[in-house]
């Protein structure tokens, strides 16, 4: 039986800002962009969350929800330094560390001899050491699988620890809402709800073939998760899946032509980022993301489409027809695969 720990820093960016400036504590605080320039919230502290503020929310809307909200700009270099220090602590307990972002990671401590081989004691010790060395708190989840460990780390936030023992898995999963399952978003949750499925106990009543018929290949995954089955390993070296750049505009782009005119500087930045990866990946397909003024968004990607300015213009035009509304954000990028093959010949973007 595996022993997996998921560590998640509590409101990471905001926690560092409050650590470095005690005047910011005990008041609604967010790290993000300027509300007057279409800024977006990166993260916020728990005082701000009581007002409904959350990450990825427009800063202007966050200020409407919480007029006293203080929004400070991010300091990514500082956050990276703290993240490196925390991950160094992880590696003292196991070489099997899979960072998901600067502020969270999976650890496989199945074969670790630290703390008498107890995953619970390892998690407790990591939490204590991060607090002592970085003056911020982290929450941890301990379970036999990745998806349960991630759920557990969110169970007693902030500054919490949740342990799901092997003999507790079945009872825990039975009562779990289906929207907590890995990969179940709003759309899938709504479809399950239409079928009267809100918990894993109700999901278990479905046969595997019926779930596959209704949800395709993901149906089999649902069948496994409803039984607590998740064999995904902790992956130390993760290949990049995409490279992209995006920009939120101070004023909405009113029409398609304005969107097309905004593409060249985005494509220049994309070409620079791809240049740093030359020889490491192969491009599989380009994509364009548009977020309209009402915050609805669409992403269009197409295998075989040319990786050229004209190719991105075509994708942008097709994506725009899905909304036909002013655009507040444009993103452009490419999907990557086959980490050991060269980028290939479709590099006309350069």
Domain covering 242-337 in this structure, CATH number: 3.30.1490.100
What is each CA distance from 135 to 96, 124, 156, 226, 288, in whole angstroms? Answer: 25, 15, 19, 38, 40
CA distance 262 to 321: 17
Q: Which CATH number fits domain 1-164: 3.30.450.20, 3.40.50.720, 3.40.50.12280, 3.30.70.270?
A: 3.30.70.270
User: Residue 37 and residue 277: Cα distance in Å, rounded?
Assistant: 31
266 in Cβ contact with 330 (< 8 Å): yes
> How many other C-beta atoms lie within 10 A of the C-beta of residue 304?
9
Of the listed 81, 92, 104, 171, which one is catalytic? 104
CA angle 79, 81, 83 (to 5 degrees): 70
Name the residue ranges covered by the structural domains of the chain: 1-164, 170-225, 242-337
Using CA atoms, how far apart are residues 115 and 3, in angstroms rounded to an integer?
Answer: 13
* CATH value of 170-225 in 1.10.150.20, 1.10.8.10, 3.40.50.300, 1.10.1040.10: 1.10.150.20
Distance CA 292, CA 324 (A): 9
CB 26 within 8 A of CB 47: yes
Distance CA 209, CA 223 (A): 9
Structure-token pair, residue 110: 């199945």
For helices 263-276 and 309-320, angle between their N-to-C axes, nearest 10 degrees: 120
Q: What residue numbers does the annotated binding site cover?
A: 8, 103
Query: Which portions of the chain are predicted below pLDDT 70?
Result: 238-239, 278-280, 338-350
Annotated binding-site residue numbers for Mg(2+): 8, 103
Tens of pLDDT, residue by residue over 251-308, are 899 999 999 999 999 999 898 888 777 666 778 889 999 999 888 889 999 888 888 8
This prediction's pTM:
0.74
Over residues 59-97, the pLDDT tens digits come to 999 999 999 999 999 999 999 999 999 999 999 999 999
Q: Could you write out the three-class secondary structure of the chain?
A: CCCEEEEEECCHHHHHHHHHCHHHCCCCEEEECCHHHCCEEEEECHHHHCCCCCCCCEHHHHHHHCCCCEEECCCHHHHHHHHHHHHHHHHCCCCCEEEEECCEEEEECCCCCHHHHCHHHHHHHHHHHHHHHHCCCEEEEEECCHHHHHHHHCCCCCCCEEECCHHHHHHHHHCCEHHHCCCCCHHHHHHHHHCCCCEHHHHCCCCHHHHHHHHCHHHHHHHHHCCCCCCCCCCCCCCCCEEEEEEEEEEEECCHHHHHHCHHHHHHHHHHHHHHCCCCCEEEEEEEEEEECCCCEEEEECCCCCCCHHHHHHHHHHHHCCCCCCEEEEEEEEEEECCCCCCCCCCCCC
104 is catalytic: yes
Contacts of 304 (CB under 8 A, 6+ apart): 285
CA distance 330 to 332: 7
CA distance 46 to 54: 9
């Amino acid at each position: 039986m595996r022993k997996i720990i998921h560590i998640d820093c509590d409101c990471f960016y905001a926690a560092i800002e409050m650590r470095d400036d005690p005047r910011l504590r005990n008041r609604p605080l967010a790290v993000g962009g300027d509300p007057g320039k279409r800024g977006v919230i990166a993260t916020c502290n728990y005082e701000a969350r009581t007002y409904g503020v959350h990450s990825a929310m427009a800063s202007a809307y966050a200020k409407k929800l919480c007029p006293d909200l203080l929004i400070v700009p991010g300091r990514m270099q500082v956050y990276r330094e703290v993240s490196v220090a925390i991950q160094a602590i992880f590696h003292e307990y196991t070489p099997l560390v899979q960072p998901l972002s600067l502020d969270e990671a999976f650890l496989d401590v199945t074969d670790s001899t630290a703390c008498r081989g107890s995953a619970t004691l390892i998690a407790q010790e990591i939490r204590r050491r991060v607090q002592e060395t970085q003056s911020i708190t982290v929450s941890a989840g301990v379970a036999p699988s990745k998806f349960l460990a991630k759920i557990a780390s969110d169970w007693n936030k902030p500054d919490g620890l949740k342990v799901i023992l092997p003999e507790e898995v079945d009872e825990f999963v039975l009562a779990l809402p289906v929207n907590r399952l890995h990969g179940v978003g709003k759309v899938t949750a709504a479809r399950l709800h239409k079928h009267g499925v809100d918990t894993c106990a109700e999901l278990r009543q479905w046969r595997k073939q019926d779930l596959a018929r209704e949800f395709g290949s993901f149906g089999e995954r649902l069948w496994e998760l409803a039984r607590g089955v998740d064999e995904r390993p902790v992956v130390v070296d993760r290949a990049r899946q995409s490279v992209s750049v995006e920009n939120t505009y101070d004023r909405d782009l009113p029409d398609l032509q304005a969107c097309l005119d905004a593409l060249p500087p985005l494509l220049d930045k994309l070409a620079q980022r791809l240049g740093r990866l030359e020889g490491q990946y192969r491009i599989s397909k380009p994509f364009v993301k548009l977020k309209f003024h009402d915050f609805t968004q669409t992403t269009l990607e197409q295998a075989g489409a040319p990786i050229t300015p004209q190719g991105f213009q075509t994708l942008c035009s097709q994506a725009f027809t899905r909304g036909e509304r002013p655009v507040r954000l444009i993103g452009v990028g490419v999907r990557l695969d086959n980490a050991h093959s060269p980028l290939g010949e479709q590099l006309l973007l350069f």
